[in-house]
């Protein structure tokens, strides 16, 4: 409401509350004064102020209203909290905003007031935080998402354990939880939102209850977290990865445009595991079913991941897309493997999360003409939930990627595709040399299928527990994979815990 008075867009008054910026700001001053008076010495009074309305010079701008308000009421509140708006700018994803990105926006405040100033800006590492404090940009560090990823962040800094911090990757899945009306989830911290329901402490975990040796096949997000958590419990763990590098999908995805920080999912666990004498990591070793049976582990965990479908089936197409077996059709894994993809390229995104657009950006950066096609009304629809879409679409257009919406991929030929309007069914030809389909993934469950074929062999091999986790059960987000690995580690040796209802505080009716 005070912002509606401050904005020339909404304030059309002709009295002492309208017109000049001093008049438009008057209500803010009165609210501060009134609150100070009412509160007296009992509490400090803070003001959270967003000096940007996002409408350019027609609305509230940092230069005009922002500076004027802080200058006018500089010493009135006990704390200034300067934040960007709307939420998608204040809590930008790592794909768009670097750590500490709000500095040019909020640095002016401390030049105008002697009162402490707090600000945010996707602070994840102690170094950046300390730098802004030392250089006098801010007095307090605001960091909600990094505290979800690691609630013990301040303690770890205090104790000098910076290397133990689970650094936020800036994926905004926490925001998605809010937007899809679900309990909060965090890619880095599987305990987030499960502290009460499951009783998970983000740092503590029960000690092991057996001397079983554990073999984990696959060092992607699920396998890594499972190894880390079982290692913390004291189990002897062998984590065996087929690739030369650990990380699984994260090893690839963190090389894609804007997703570098996602590598922290791997890096944090790699760092923790490196400190554990009871966890061994072996790379470049693809285990067969016989290898697993002869490994000598009593507990076997399969975290073998998933693969993108090449046939284009998924959300909009229940059957393979005709022509998807052609030699000019590729999947994200082909980009991972360095396959040469000739432009012009059509990227068909029926996944609607980030992969379609980052593939398009990568191919475009390599100099190709790229068209991003979606059957939905906008590209990357699901990224609305992580507040990326409003930032993403201008970026794609700016990079010269053509966006085609409301069109399904009806057919793929050697020299182009047939696109069908999802409303009218009318088709149109679009010339291209290559097609990348980003539609859905299938679990890589071959090893699990083979090992479960003959339970007698498992018994013979002394394997008392065989469990598939993560994408190899059901392809999901990196968050679901990490959580799946964590859950197995929590529940090993305990009773099987079925899905339990979410608990919430209930206020009694009068």
The residues that touch its own copies, with contacts defined as CB under 8 A, are: 7, 9-10, 55, 58-59, 181, 318-319, 377-378, 393-394, 397-398, 405, 421, 423-424, 503, 506, 508-509
CB of 116 to its own copies, least distance (A): 34
Q: Tokens for 290, please give them.
A: 């016989």
* C-beta atoms surrounding 157 within 10 Å: 15
**Angle formed by the axes of helices 221-233 and 264-274, nearest 10°:** 30
Q: How far apart are CA 34 and CA 32, in angstroms?
A: 5
Q: Is the dihedral of CA 79, 83, 86, 90 positive or negative?
A: negative
Q: How far is the CB of 422 from its own copies (least distance, A)?
A: 9
Calpha distance 506→503 (Å, rounded): 9
Angle 236-238-239 from CA coordinates, rounded to 5°: 135
Cβ 350 vs Cβ 315: under 8 Å? yes
Question: Of 207 and 508, which CB lies nearer to its own copies in the complex structure?
Answer: 508
Q: Decide: 195 and 239 in contact? Cβ < 8 Å.
A: no
What is the torsion angle, in degrees rounded to the nearest 10, for the CA atoms of residue 447, residue 450, residue 454 and residue 460?
-40
Q: How far is the CB of 377 from its own copies (least distance, A)?
A: 4
Beta-carbon contacts of 157 under 8 Å, excluding residues fewer than 6 positions away, are: 126, 165
Nearest to 171 by CA among 85, 259, 102: 259
Which residue, 422, 246, 441, is CA-closest to 355? 441
Give whichever of 37 and 398 is closer to its own copies, judged by the CB atom. Answer: 398
Q: How many other C-beta atoms are found inside a 10 Å radius of the C-beta of residue 485?
A: 29
């Amino acid at each position: 409401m005070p912002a509606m008075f401050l904005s020339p867009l909404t304030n059309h008054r002709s009295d002492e509350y309208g017109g000049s910026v001093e008049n438009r700001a008057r209500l803010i001053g009165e609210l501060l004064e009134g609150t100070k008076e009412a509160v007296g010495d009992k509490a400090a009074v803070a003001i959270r102020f967003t000096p940007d309305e996002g409408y350019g010079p027609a609305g509230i701008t940092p230069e005009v209203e922002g500076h004027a308000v802080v200058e006018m009421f500089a010493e009135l509140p006990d704390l200034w909290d300067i934040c960007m708006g709307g939420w998608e700018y204040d809590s930008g994803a790592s794909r768009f905003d670097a750590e500490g990105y709000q500095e040019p926006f909020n640095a002016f405040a401390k030049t105008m007031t002697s009162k402490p100033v707090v600000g945010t800006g996707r602070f994840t590492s102690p170094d950046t935080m300390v730098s802004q404090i030392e250089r006098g940009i801010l007095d307090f560090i605001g960091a909600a998402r990094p505290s979800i990823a690691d609630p013990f962040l301040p303690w770890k800094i205090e104790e000098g354990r910076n290397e133990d911090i689970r650094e936020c990757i800036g994926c905004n899945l926490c925001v998605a939880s809010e937007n899809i009306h679900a309990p909060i989830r965090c890619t880095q911290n599987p305990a987030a939102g499960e502290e009460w329901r499951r009783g998970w402490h983000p740092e503590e975990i029960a000690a092991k209850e057996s001397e079983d040796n554990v073999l984990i096949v696959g060092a992607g997000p699920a396998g890594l977290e499972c190894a880390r958590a079982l290692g913390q419990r004291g189990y002897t763990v062998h984590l065996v990865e087929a690739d030369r590098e650990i990380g699984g999908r994260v090893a690839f995805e963190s090389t894609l445009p804007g997703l570098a920080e996602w590598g922290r999912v791997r890096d944090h666990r790699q760092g923790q595991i490196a400190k554990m004498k009871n966890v061994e990591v072996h790379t470049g070793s693809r285990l067969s079913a016989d290898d697993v049976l002869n490994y000598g582990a009593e507990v076997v965990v399969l975290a073998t991941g998933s693969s993108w479908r090449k046939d284009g089936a998924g959300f909009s197409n229940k059957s393979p897309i005709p022509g998807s077996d052609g030699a000019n059709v590729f999947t994200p894994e082909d980009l991972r493997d360095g396959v040469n993809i000739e432009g012009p390229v059509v990227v068909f995104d029926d996944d609607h999360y980030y992969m379609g657009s980052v593939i398009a950006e990568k191919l475009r950066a390599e100099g190709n003409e790229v068209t991003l096609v979606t059957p939905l009304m906008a590209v990357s629809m699901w990224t609305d939930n992580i507040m990326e879409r409003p930032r993403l679409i201008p970026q794609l257009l700016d990079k010269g990627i053509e966006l085609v919406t409301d069109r399904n991929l009806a057919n793929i030929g050697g020299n182009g595709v047939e696109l069908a309007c999802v409303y009218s069914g009318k088709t149109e030809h679009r010339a291209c040399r290559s097609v990348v389909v980003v539609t859905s993934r299938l679990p890589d469950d071959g090893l699990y299928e083979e090992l479960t074929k003959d339970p007698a062999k498992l018994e013979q091999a002394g394997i008392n527990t065989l469990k598939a986790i993560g994408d190899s059960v059901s392809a999901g987000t990196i968050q679901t994979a990490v959580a799946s690995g964590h859950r197995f580690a929590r529940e090993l040796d305990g009773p099987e815990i079925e899905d339990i209802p979410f608990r919430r505080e209930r206020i009694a009716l009068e």
